Structure 1
Amino acid sequence: MVTALPIITDYPILPPMGLLVLLAWRLIRPGYWPVWAGFPLGLVDDIFSGQPFGSAAFLWSVMFVVLETLDRKANTRDYWQDWLIASLAIVFVLISSMMIIDFPANLLRLDILFPQILLSVLLYPFIARLIGSIDDWRISA
């Protein structure tokens, strides 16, 4: 619901916090979320973000299927690989969301997403550390 804050800008700048938290949780605990969980969580994101209804549900579902495929092929991943996977997922979801809104008009305007993508990719390690500490607290309690 961070995107509901009354911040007025000409271009998107706020990172998609729901996506970052979900990515961090999914990459830290691969078996915790089922593959189908991306659909209802994406619908909730569509309601709060103002995107066309079903766009985040579709994109998050695709992202979950790809992450599940990566988890089945790779035995272990390290921190840098998780950051790379999350960065690619963030770029995919943000660019695809922009294309869903208005493909012909936004095809040549991808440069306006650069600050949001950069902020989201740089914020991911902080979110992953926060989610990791919450997960450790959840397991110990």
Structure 2
Amino acid sequence: MGLIGRFKRVMAQLSREMAETWAEHGLNAASFDVLATLRRSGPPYALSPSDLIASTMVTSGTMTNRIDQLEKAGLVVRKQSDEDRRSFLISLTDEGFRVIDEAVTAHVETQARLVSGLSEEDREKLDALLKVFLAGFETK
């Protein structure tokens, strides 16, 4: 039971630290996820709502809510698709691009800080053990 308790404590701490990092940029986990997905898509940093849903694995209603919030904040815009006038794309605004670039940099720095207490060898061992542990859940 101690092992699972430690997992819970580690996860709670990691979640808190990441939430604080995103909050410094006016984001939460959901908004970071959408903006980072758009950023990773490359120029022109635009995807259809269906592509965003597939990438983030949320329902269409959840994605619509996320897009609405990000659009209200001026971080994304809905643009009619040039290829299909019946559909639209979600694009990063210049401000959205700036915010997600800064947030990703901070995200990576926070992740590095969170594991800095482990040697490279210990990180590799922990990573290998966690892969084995997770694989046990994926076979069920």
Does TM-score exceed 0.5, indicating one fold?
no
**Structure that is richer in helix per residue:** 1
Higher relative contact order (CA 8 A, sep 6+): 1
**Structure that is richer in strand per residue:** 2
Specify the structure having the higher radius of gyration (Cα).
Answer: 2
